[in-house]
Structure 1
Amino acid sequence: MPNWLMKSEPAEFSIHDLQRLGQARWDGVRNYQARNFLRNMQAGEHFLFYHSSCPEPGIAGIACISSPTYPDPTALDPDSHYFDSKASREKNPWSAIDVTFVEAFDRVIPLATLKGQSALLELPLVHKGSRLSVMPVSAEQWAAILALR
């Protein structure tokens, strides 16, 4: 079963928000490659919850995919930051997915620590300029990251 990494700005939605809610919609993905990865996700698969664009970016916990993808309703909401004026009910190019809380780590695994791991050299996250908000994580990378907890 594939594993994933998904990024969110904790000021907008954090692992602790998901912990409080239990389950939530993951929406607002507006990069086609990231959207395609999102569409490949299946219920029951896990992902590393990464806090981005914050004082201490890093992996903050684990969550689980709990639904198939569906059209992202934020693309149709003119009041949403993720509104897409080209999207319609008939043709919405963006997808959302439901996720469920699994675990919040006691401490965030910092990006600097991840960059120092030889087992993670191929993980796009550790390369400068890799801005995808959704990406696959190999079984070996997953194990190396969990060993850092």
Structure 2
Amino acid sequence: MNYFLAKTEPTTYSLDDLERDRRTSWDGVTNPQAVRAIREMRPGDIVFIYHSGGVSSVVGIAIVKSQPRDDPKNPKSAVVDLEFAGRLGSPVSLAEIKQSGKFDDLALVRQGRLSTMAVPEKFVAWIRARNPKATI
């Protein structure tokens, strides 16, 4: 199993929307590095949902439910289906992530505008420690 993080502007599509819809196609990603991350996703992988736009926090979890495929609206992009898996009991802010000093090499910290990225096991363990009731 692999782990990823996907950013979304909560006014565009929030964790509340994903919870209501239960499942969505994650699309609209155009940065080549972020598209590459989507193309690496496989069914069963875990995706941390991150609210940008002033919230700047990891807020929930989704599960990849499909193989990645070309985006029919943009041949240079890719989409994948995600299913709501839960909320973090305590959202984890970007400030907390940075203050930990453990993730200076994480794309979330280094490349603030990158919308989708792989995250390492040490990040997953750190999030779990802050949210022991979350199903990660």
Contact 2:24 2:83 in 1 (8 A): yes
Q: How many residues align?
A: 131
1:93 deviates by 1.8
Distance 2:118 2:69 in 1: 19
Distance 1:19 1:74 in 2: 24
Instruction: Provide Cα deviations, 1:21-80, integer angstroms capped at 9, x if missing partner.
Output: 110010000101110111011010001100012x321101110110011221333xxxxx
Contact 2:68 2:80 in 1 (8 A): yes
Distance 2:93 2:32 in 1: 27
Structure 1 segment 46-57 matched on structure 2, within 5 A: 46-53=46-53, 55-57=54-56
Contact 2:30 2:76 in 1 (8 A): no
TM-score for both structures, normalised by structure 2:
0.89
Structure 1 segment 81-96 matched on structure 2, within 5 A: 92-96=75-79
Contact 2:26 2:80 in 1 (8 A): yes
Is structure 2 residue 120 aligned with structure 1 residue 120? no
Query: Unaligned regions of 5+ residues in structure 2, if any?
Result: 132-136
Quote the residue 1:4 is aligned against. Answer: 4
Q: Which secondary structure does the structure 2 equivalent of 1:67 belong to?
A: coil
- Taking only the aligned residue pairs, the percentage that are identical comes to 34
Quote the residue 1:33 is aligned against. Answer: 33
| Larger fraction in strand | 2
Matched residue type, 1:57: S
Query: Unaligned regions of 5+ residues in structure 1, if any?
Result: 76-91
Question: How well do the aligned residues superpose, as a CA RMSD in angstroms?
Answer: 1.4
